[in-house]
Amino acid sequence: MTEQRARNDDEFKDAGLYKGVHSVDLEEFYTSGHRTCQGCESALVMRGFAKVAGSRTVVTGATGCMYVANTSYMTTPWIVPWMHTQLAAGGASAVGMAAGIKALQRKGKIPKEKINVINFSGDLGAGDEGLGGISGALQTPYDLLIVIYDNESAANTDIQASGLTTWGAQTTFTPSGSKERIMQKRWKKNIAAMMAIGHPNVKYVATACATFPATDYLNKVKKALAAGGPTLLHTIDPCPKGWDYHPRYSNILGELAVKTGIFADYEIINGRVKYTYDLRKRERLPVKKYLEKQGRFSHFAEEDYDYVQSMVDEMWEEWELPGILPIKGGLSVERE
């Protein structure tokens, strides 16, 4: 294990990883003056990748909170070049930019240099409508990064359930009622792993929380941009608005998502898995500690907490790769 970790870190020795909070760059490339919610975690996702990528970067943002909230016409918080793209076009927008830049550089129409190409898409865009487009992007040879910022709802539209919403959550599409206490009956898609497993050419796929562990997300952006080829990051973004908690507590909710194991925090580097916060070896906190702090689960009965806990337990105790590969261990071979 130690040997493998050394190998993984070695691969990014030139990526300029931050060693501790005080080494983080101070300058912002996504700056104040955006219409995001108080306490918005996704804004920190934007801030983080822009900071790490720096000025030689182009960004597209798929329709969603981080589009609508961030830019109000005639104003923008972006310092790096940024463009809107359609809800399902996250992958394609990155491909279009990367291909265009590559062609122009090869033909000598613009100077040769490394320009980071980044798309961000929310859970609705990336997890549902844009899934195919991101898959397409991950099949290309281009250097590009797709950041899926996941606040678990169409928080831009009125807080409707998406394919990545946690089981049981109240949203405007899944209100708790007198007949049906639980309307959100879909289990969250395992999107990062799905993409990693389905696209073996991709050199770097990771999940992250923007604020926990400190600098981890920023370093994952660095690794993704350094890895080459198409890469993918999936962040869990506590959303004070749609999750109905006080904006002050975004950090603690992100931390609890990781520590309870409901959100698996890992990297897949050239096909090798590295857990960022390895809950196979640490105590997992009860998932209730995470759920009970959010108004969207305020309708939960004990059996609902128990159900979510049992699903999380299964994910960590029975999956072939905990939190990643939901195939249960041991091949079963039919015999005559």
Binding to other proteins (CB under 8 A) within 78-107 occurs at 78-86, 88-89, 91-97, 99-104, 106-107
* 157 touching other proteins, by CB under 8 A: yes
| Adjacent-strand bridge partners of 119 | 60, 146
Helix (H) or strand (E) run with residue 306 in it: helix 302-317
Q: Which is nearer to other proteins, 127 or 323 (CB)?
A: 127
* H-only helix segments in 228-282: 240-243, 250-259
* 308 touching other proteins, by CB under 8 A: no
Please report, as residue ranges, which positions from 134 to 153 form the binding site for other proteins (by CB under 8 A).
Answer: 135-136, 139-140
Tell me the C-alpha distance between 41 and 34, whole Å.
Answer: 13
- Per the CB < 8 A criterion, the answer to whether 61 and 67 are in contact is yes
Minimum CB distance to other proteins, residue 329 (Å): 33
Please report, as residue ranges, which positions from 171 to 210 form the binding site for other proteins (by CB under 8 A).
Answer: none
Tokens of 300: 């939960």
The angle, 0 to 180 degrees and rounded to 10, between the axes of the packed helices 41-53 and 216-227 is 50
* 56 touching other proteins, by CB under 8 A: yes
* 31 touching other proteins, by CB under 8 A: yes
Q: Which is nearer to other proteins, 128 or 278 (CB)?
A: 128
* 8 touching other proteins, by CB under 8 A: no
Q: Which of 12, 49, 60, 192 binds other proteins (CB under 8 A)?
A: 60
Q: Which of 124, 155, 192, 209 binds other proteins (CB under 8 A)?
A: 155
* 120 touching other proteins, by CB under 8 A: no
Segment interacting with other proteins (CB under 8 A) among 197-205, 221-229, 245-253, 306-314:
245-253
Q: Exposed, middle or buried: residue 103 (CB in 10 Å: 0-12, 13-18, 19+)?
A: exposed
Q: Which of 288, 295, 325, 326 binds other proteins (CB under 8 A)?
A: 295
- Per the CB < 8 A criterion, the answer to whether 18 and 214 are in contact is no
Minimum CB distance to other proteins, residue 250 (Å): 6
DSSP tag of 85: E
Provide the phi-psi class of 193: left if phi over 0, else alpha when psi is between -120 and 50, else beta: alpha
